[in-house]
Amino acid sequence: MSGKFPGCSDSAWPEVFTEPAMPCPSTVKKSGQLADHVIRKFFEDGFVIVEDFFTPEELNPCKEDIADVVDEVANMLWKKGKIKDLYNDFGFHERLVRMNDDFPGANILVIKTGRVPKALKQLWANERLLNVIEQLIGPNIAGNPVWNIRAKIPSDEDTTVPWHQDCAYLDNDTYNMLIPTAWIPFVDTNFENGCMEFVKGGHRLGKVATHQCCHGGTWYTILEEEEMTRTLGVDLSKDREVVPVPFGGMVLFSNMIPHRSLPNNTSHIRWTVDLRWQHPDSPSGLWGLKEKVLMRSSDNPDLEIDWETFDAVDRCEQQKTLVTGYGEEADDPELDTTITGPWMKQWEIVHMNRHVKV
């Protein structure tokens, strides 16, 4: 970590692997910063829950922007005769469920949204949130290009994500980096509506277990429990933890920690976003397909975030270019509900479906 935390020579905390050593506690107090024991828990367990962080004023505009994305998809599907109604009477928690009943995969079209809505940009670069990220990776911060709006509709295989380490979706030049995620819900999340489950300490060896592709009818990688236990030295009978997070809270987690999300057994959508950050001098992990976006620079306190350049590249479109021939062709690209990407070449294909069909 030399040079990444200027002025910090404290070696009291062991380096686990190259980047992810816990930085020295900040001597400068900034708004939003978490207590040292919370930061320590992130490094020790691989994740930490922060129950009360965001105000409704910070989260509600994101809900409004997401509702606008749903509205755009609804109007597109309606014009093409794919849904029976615009379902305007249904709100944030249900409209997409109705759309999905008529056109399965409507929620994937929302997930594939290429540009970051304005309020999500504000959330991603939120001053207090960046002060927390600074506690994890230091004062120079970029947004990693992997971000997702997750519309987990009830009983939906496509949004029930099996065990994985996030690094399994990234190029192996990121394997010695810390890329923390903030998983931020727009509803109270719990066991019933499909919150996350983590395997405590699974990041500590700094290893990436062998994943496979693709799970069920989805584009997700698979980390088998036996492989996780063997390679990451975890004991699933005691290390797993289901992590409910209320509206206003978040869970911060490491790119090395094994985790999954549970099924949504309610009648409402579990809306969340996951946002990632990294050191700006390190690779972006997307095989050169899309670059990170600089958010904070210790040399330039007046930095303006260049969202225009970031928005100009659609990650889902770019990902396809490295796996040509993968995924079923859609007659109409606007109705394409497949997701393909380079991780499909990184891991053995043990199961074919419409996303990987070659």
Ligand X SMILES: O=C(O)CCC(=O)C(=O)O
Strands 270-278 and 141-143: antiparallel
If you search the block for the tokens 């980047």, which residue do you land on? 19
126 belongs to the binding site for ligand X (CB under 6 A):
no
DSSP SS3 for 6: coil
C-beta of 24 vs 50, nearer to ligand X: 50
181 belongs to the binding site for ligand X (CB under 6 A):
yes
152 belongs to the binding site for ligand X (CB under 6 A):
yes
Minimal distance in Å, beta carbon 339 to ligand X?
A: 14
Minimal distance in Å, beta carbon 215 to ligand X?
A: 12
Applying CB under 6 A, among 183, 271, 326, 343 the residue interacting with ligand X is 183
Applying CB under 6 A, among 161, 168, 286, 339 the residue interacting with ligand X is 161
C-beta of 189 vs 338, nearer to ligand X: 189
70 belongs to the binding site for ligand X (CB under 6 A):
no
Question: CA-CA distances (angstroms) from residue 165 to 81, 202, 257, 352?
Answer: 39, 9, 6, 21
Minimal distance in Å, beta carbon 297 to ligand X?
A: 26
319 belongs to the binding site for ligand X (CB under 6 A):
no
Total count of residues recorded for the chain: 358
135 belongs to the binding site for ligand X (CB under 6 A):
no
What is the DSSP track for 119-187? HHHHHHT-HHHHHHHHHHH-S-EEE-S--EEEEE-TT-GGG-PPSB-GGGGS-GGGTTS---EEEEESS
Minimal distance in Å, beta carbon 166 to ligand X?
A: 5
Minimal distance in Å, beta carbon 113 to ligand X?
A: 15
Minimal distance in Å, beta carbon 262 to ligand X?
A: 8
What crossing angle do the helices spanning 56-79 and 95-102 adopt, rounded to 10°? 20
Restricting to residues 261-280, which ones interact with ligand X according to CB under 6 A? 261, 272, 274
Strands 348-349 and 212-213: parallel
186 belongs to the binding site for ligand X (CB under 6 A):
no
Q: Residue 19 and residue 233: Cα distance in Å, rounded?
A: 21
Applying CB under 6 A, among 112, 121, 150, 355 the residue interacting with ligand X is 150
Strands 47-50 and 259-261: unpaired
C-beta of 259 vs 320, nearer to ligand X: 259
Q: For 239-282, give the secondary structure using H, E and C.
A: CEEEECCCCCCEEEECCCCCEEECCCCCCCCEEEEEEEEECCCC
Minimal distance in Å, beta carbon 288 to ligand X?
A: 22
- Site residues (vs ligand X, CB under 6 A): 150, 152, 161, 166, 181, 183, 259, 261, 272, 274
